[in-house]
Amino acid sequence: MADAKKPFAVKVQDLVYNVEVGLGLRIVQGVLYAFMIAILMVGFTAKRFAGLKETEAMDQAQLARNLMETHRLVTQNIRPASMWYLIENSRQHAPLMERHPDIVNAPLYPALLSIGFLATRGAFTGEVISGVFTPEQWIIVPFGHLCTILSGLFVFLLGRRLFDARHGFWAMTAYYLSASAWELSVSGLNISLLVLATLGAWYFAVAAVERRQALEPSAGWIGLLVLSLLCAVAAFYTRYIGVVVAPAVALFIGLTLRKQGGVLLAVGFLVLFALALVPWFVRNMLVSGGLLGLAPLLTLNGSKVFEGDTFERMLAPVLTYDRVTHTLAGKWATNFSQMYDTGVRGLGEGVLTCFFLTSFFFRFSKPTINLFRWSFGGCLLLFLLLAPLGAATTQHALAMFWPLALIYGLAFFFVLLHRMQFQLRILNQGLTMLVLLLTAVPLLMLLVPSRVGAPYPPYYPPFIKHVATLVRPSELLCTDMPWATAWYGHRDSLLLPLSMDEFYAINDNTRRISGLYFTTLTRDRAYVRELLTGPYRNWFPINEGRVPPDFPLNQYLPLNNMDQLFLTDRTRWGE
């Protein structure tokens, strides 16, 4: 009523005041900030995305489409090793070539993508595609951007809770200026979702601990602990390396609440986390006979004994305890040295990584901040002990630590800035902007060059789609990039076996192979070390155009100036 009685001139003055210094100013600033981030996101996508180029991204995309269509976790990217694993360990003791179950990937990311694919179901039915595949452009990349945006908001909330709102804002801004964040966002990998789940687990744990320390009602802080637990579970279900989050969060809870039953809470957190994984373990046991299916054995890939993807191309690998342990020990030593030397130092951009590492030698006044940092450091150490056994993309998962490193790096920078005691405020602001600029340099360098082209070689959707149409949906295609033919061509695709004998065994005894597709993944390999005497020596004559007389696929079609080669049982391209 009082506002209604104000003169019109006073109302105008109040409005002007709010726009200049009050709530209105904050709204305008927030809108402009969001607008600038949106421009950055769209500009980066236009410059840096021309299609998926990561093996895992295409593999999980085709898995998501199959989940949408069949409501089951089945894959069209069939590995000879997964056939062997199912024969040896599943209840059916059969390779299950029809609707081959996925026993490699964690399920959450494909499940979320499948929901998005429902909106673009028609995009999968076109016979001819060009440019960027529609589901990638409108579902996969936007979902990655959504995860990145939400991760930035969690950075702000976590920075504000640990330090103050100003700190949270600059940390969020630095995160949005990180090239690595946006590169992962457009990669199609599940790491952006992993980063989001990790940040959620840490933020809700910090909020719960502070409420518990403030002796607030149980309903509030217990609810936050449950949210933290759900996020930790989501990290595991997104990527198995996400298992490192739960022990670290439990350690933080136990240390900060050690005088308020923290040890029991930490143990309960871990027990509930383990129970949440049981349904997935049961599914894998029923389908494949192993808790995580083939995934643990894929750590043999990339070792000295199994170079590259040699292991998963084997139909009958010979594994003994001594051989496996020796192989993994050698791989761990090599990759750990590399990750320790370059991975940690390349955790993020600019000087903030240096400030973060140095912050471990400084003691903050608030105990929660110090305990959080050491718990987070323990999580990083556990990751460094496990990640060397994973695939190359597992090392990209270091990105889950970059937002937290950024928060502490900025905190230590502000401590140093405060101790310099500049009298002019503009100097403080100038140095802060300089640090942000140094953080943004890699991003600016990526935006300066011209737009990236299609990821060929080896991936160009029209080529892959054309070859896939030469094989009927009920037939099996064998290729050196089955993840791509499964995603773009929607065909059951067998990874090229290690030897021709294994090819014959699959063709004669399991399922007839109707096409053989070689791409630059094979044809561009080292001539002597890999093609002539290495793991591809069995296929070298065919790549040279010398098809054995008894080979079932004796009709061949060169593609793109002999870059690619397609073999089949008849001249299908004339049909």
Distance CA 38, CA 45 (A): 11
For 534, the domain range is 461-574
Asked if 393 and 268 sit in the same domain, the reply is: yes
The whole-chain average pLDDT of the chain stands at 90
Q: Which of 380, 412, 447 finishes a domain? A: 447
What is the spatial distance between Cα 250 and Cα 264, in angstroms, rounded to a whole number? Answer: 10
Q: Burial level of 424, CB count in 10 A (0-12/13-18/19+)? A: exposed
What integer pLDDT is reported at residue 15 of this predicted model?
A: 56
Which one of 419, 447, 475 terminates a domain? 447
The answer to whether residue 273 scores a pLDDT higher than 60 is yes
Domain membership flag for residue 261: yes
Residue 305: other Cβ atoms inside 10 A: 14
DSSP 530-567: IIISSTTGGGHHHHTT---TT-S--EEEEETTTTEEEE
pTM score of the predicted model? 0.93
The per-residue pLDDT for 17 is 56
Confidence of residue 219 (pLDDT cuts 50, 70, 90): confident
* Nearest alpha carbon to residue 54 among 307, 392, 288: 392
Residue 49 makes CB contacts below 8 A (sequence gap 6+) with 132, 137, 141, 186, 452
- C-beta pairs of 59-62 under 8 Å, 24+ apart in sequence: 59/104, 59/105, 59/483, 59/486, 59/487, 60/105, 60/109, 60/110, 60/113, 60/188, 60/190, 61/110, 61/113, 61/135, 61/136, 61/140, 61/188, 61/487, 62/483, 62/486, 62/487, 62/490
Q: Is residue 95 part of a domain?
A: no
| Number of helical H runs and strand E runs in the chain | 24, 6
Taking CA atoms, 283 is separated from 90, 95, 279, 294, 446, in Å, by 12, 17, 6, 13, 43
* Confidence check: pLDDT of 103 > 90: yes
Domain count, the chain: 3
Residue 188 within any structural domain of the chain:
yes
Q: Do 399 and 509 share a domain, yes or no? A: no
Compute φ and ψ for 102, nearest 5 degrees: -80, 125
Per-residue tokens: 101: 């179950």
Name residues whose C-beta falls within 8 Å of residue 552's C-beta, 6 or more positions apart in sequence.
507, 513, 569
**Residue 230: its H or E element:** helix 218-238
pLDDT at 7 over 90: no
- C-alpha distances (whole Å) from 445 to each of 121, 177, 286, 442, 472 are 37, 12, 50, 5, 45
| Domain presence at residue 320 | no
Statement: residue 203 has pLDDT above 90: yes
**SS3 state of residue 228:** helix
501 and 363 together in one domain? no
Contact status, residue 177 vs residue 410, Cβ threshold 8 Å? no
Task: State the alpha helices, DSSP H only, in 499-539.
Answer: 500-509, 520-523
Q: What is the pLDDT of residues 12-59, one digit of tens each?
A: 566 555 555 566 667 878 889 999 999 999 999 999 999 999 999 999
The number of residues making up the chain comes to: 575
CA 307, 313, 317: angle at the middle one, nearest 5?
85
378 and 486 in a common domain: no
Stretch 438-462: mean pLDDT = 87
Enter the DSSP assignment of 101: B
Question: Is 106 a domain residue?
Answer: no
Examine residue 458 and say whether the peptide bond preceding it is cis (omega within 30 degrees of 0).
Answer: yes
- Are 414 and 474 members of one domain? no
Listed in sequence order, the residues at least 6 apart from 445 whose beta carbon sits closer than 8 Å to its beta carbon are 179
Domain check: are 383 and 480 in the same one?
A: no
Q: Are residues 507 and 426 both part of a single domain?
A: no
> How far apart (Å, rounded) are the C-alpha atoms in residues 208 and 265?
11
Instruction: Retrieve residue 488's tokens.
Output: 């773009």
- Asked, for residue 121, whether it belongs to a domain, the answer is no
Domain match, 443 and 544 both: no
Mean pLDDT of 333-343: 82
* 36 and 179 co-located in one domain: no
The verdict on 235 and 184 lying in the same domain is yes
Q: Tell me what percent of the residues of the chain surpass a pLDDT of 90.
A: 67
For the cut 60, the answer to whether the pLDDT of residue 261 exceeds it is: yes
Are 174 and 148 found together in one domain? yes
Rounded CA separation 273/268 (Å): 8
- Burial of 407: CB neighbours in 10 Å, binned 0-12, 13-18, 19+: buried
Q: Name the band, by pLDDT with cuts 50, 70 and 90, for residue 106.
A: very high
User: What was the pLDDT predicted at 11?
Assistant: 56
Average pLDDT over residues 276-298: 96
Is-contact 351 407, C-beta < 8 A?
Answer: no
Distance of CA 414 to the CA centre of its chain: 32
Among the listed residues 454, 493, 490, the one whose alpha carbon sits nearest the alpha carbon of residue 121 = 490
Q: Is residue 224 part of a domain?
A: yes
If asked whether residues 211 and 146 sit together in one domain, one would say yes
Rounded (5°) CA angle 99-100-104? 140
| Both structure tokens of 271 | 């027990």
Largest CA distance in the chain: 99
What average pLDDT does this structure show over 411-429?
A: 86
Instruction: Give a yes or no: residue 212 inside a domain.
Output: yes
pLDDT value of position 83: 97
**191-213 and 179-187 helices, crossing angle to 10°:** 120
For residues 475 and 422, which has the higher predicted lDDT (pLDDT)? 475
Residue 1 pLDDT = 45
pLDDT value for 346: 64
**Which of 328-332, 333-337, 445-449, 529-533 has the least mean pLDDT?**
529-533
